[in-house]
A and B are shown apart, each in its own frame.
Chain A
Amino acid sequence: MTHAQIGSKILDIDLPLPNGITALHGRPGAGKTATLHSIAGFVRPERGRILIDDAIVFDAGSRVNLAPRLRRCGWVGSRDALFPHLTIRQNLLFAAGRWARLERTKRAAEMLERFELADALEMRPRELAPARRLRAEVARALLTEPKLLLVDDRGAEHGATEGLLRIVRDTFDGPVLWAIGSLDLCYSSADRLALMEGGRLVGCGPVREVMERPESIEAARLAGISNLFPATIAALDPGRNQSRLECADFVLSGPYLKGHFKGDRVWVGIRAEDVRVHAAEIEPEINFVSVQLLRLTERPRSLRMEFAGSIAAEVSREQYARQKDNKGWQVEFPPAALRVF
């Protein structure tokens, strides 16, 4: 079992790390790097306990604090740390110091092959592109046969890719904690997702579950739900499986909210891609709201329409092309797509 319970002035987390890739996602300053540093042993937390493969590497109560080199954590930081005076092959051989020379060479060659770096054996790190340097660094970290792999985020340009995460999954079957900035990449390549905000975990679990059913408003924001409105529950009807939610400027009809009472203050959320856009002229139906279009921004595969009242919708180019001559606008919040926190 690998588990991190960490408490300090800036962190308060309880993070189980089962085998597979756990993506750590949060805004800059949320505490992702501090979490990774605490688990790797570079900083000493004030409270908590860290177990790596059932071995206690840190326990504040009994004052156990193993040095980083004894924790068997593979570490890849947010900055390049391939030794620049060594070639890629020598960098990997450095990590394979505990094996005999022949075994060391064999393992390094195999690892470079797996990470598609066979052509870069005798190159210096500066001769490689940043993405390939990251590959080499992950390969070097895995060569030590760690019990846990920790990887910090390197930004959208030089960071992780689906290809690299696939190779890591094929090569290493232990737990991986990887700080990933892109939600799309978390969704496509990670098994679990841990959302961080202000040094706390605001959501943790299987990726799809955390993304589709966030537990809190902070988790919803981090999971990419951009339309969030404070509301009051005006009516609850379990018989018809309905509820009425009064927001500041409009009233919404949603599914019955189990565990809530009439008069409760809640947040209603809906993803921008679930919001439907209509012309003002058509007959309003359930959950239709008249809005004024403020701006239109281009996305790689869609258009984002931002309306007054902090309402956003993402539509395809074809859909917008059909409606671009609308004189006024209405948005529709489908009841099934509403999330209540």
Chain B
Amino acid sequence: MTFHWPPVWLSLQVAGLATAGALVLGLWLGYSLATREFRARKAAMGLLALLFATPVVILAWVFLRPVFPWQAGVLVGTIAALPPVALGARRPLQDLDREYGGAARSLGSSEWRIFWRVMLPLGWRPILAAAAIAFVRVWMEWSIVAAL
């Protein structure tokens, strides 16, 4: 029996790239939600929760029908992977900010430096877990989308 590999590679490729894209956007969003008070904060959280509840197959149906290149699939996958990354990273980043954010800011550090030198080294485990959930979500559902 021969196994047809190309669809598997394509799914992994789409899920991997989508997770990477979601990590960049989602960490920025999660960090902003964790450390800043802004007016649309609750609305952004609600939108992310709604997006999390929406199956990838529906997002694909809305954005990609009738035919689409795999690169467009990555874009949809990124949107689908964004909520688990942003919401998953928000809480640990918020806890870390409460503990170390004040001290780091009073030392004159920029938000960028605080994120890279303090938050990420201390909070990489829950962020990695959130990224894994995002990857699995896109990969599992991408196979359904691909089958459509």
Contact = CB atoms under 8 A, between A and B. Distances in A.
A97 to B, nearest CB: 7
Contacts of A42: 102
A150 to B, nearest CB: 8
Interface stretch (A72-80, A112-120, A170-178): A72-80
The winner among B102, B118, B121, B122 for most chain A CB atoms within 10 A is B102
A81 B110 contact: no
A223 interface: no
A74 B106 CA distance: 6
The winner among B103, B106, B118, B122 for most chain A CB atoms within 10 A is B106
Nearest to A95: B107
Interface string B94-108: 000001101111111
B118 A83 contact: yes
The winner among A75, A81, A97, A146 for most chain B CB atoms within 10 A is A81
B99 A73 contact: no
A187 interface: no
A194 to B, nearest CB: 21
Interface in B43-100: 99-100
Given A83-B100, A83-B118, A94-B117, A40 B106 contact: yes
Contact of A141 (B100, B106, B122): B106
Given A68-B102, A77-B102, A94-B117, A83 B107 contact: no
A324 B121 CA distance: 64
A84 B106 contact: no
The winner among B99, B108, B117, B121 for most chain A CB atoms within 10 A is B108
Contacts of B117: 83, 94
B103 A144 contact: no
A85 B100 CA distance: 12
Contact of A69 (B99, B105, B118, B121): B105
Given A69-B109, A94-B117, A97-B108, A85 B103 contact: no
B122 A83 contact: yes
Contacts, number: 59
A85 B109 CA distance: 17
Given A85-B121, A85-B122, A76 B109 contact: no
A200 interface: no
Given A81-B99, A81-B100, A83-B100, A69 B106 contact: yes
B122 A75 contact: no
A25 interface: no
B102 A69 contact: no
B25 to A, nearest CB: 24
A42 B109 CA distance: 14
Contacts of B109: 69, 94, 97
B122 A81 contact: no
A257 B82 CA distance: 73
9 A-B pairs with the lowest CB-CB distances in the bound complex, closest first = A75-B106, A81-B103, A68-B105, A95-B107, A69-B105, A85-B121, A69-B108, A81-B100, A68-B106
Interface of A: 40, 42, 67-77, 79, 81, 83-85, 94-95, 97-98, 137, 140-141, 144, 146
15 contacts: A42-B102, A68-B105, A69-B107, A73-B106, A75-B102, A79-B99, A83-B100, A85-B121, A94-B107, A94-B109, A137-B103, A140-B103, A140-B107, A141-B107, A144-B107
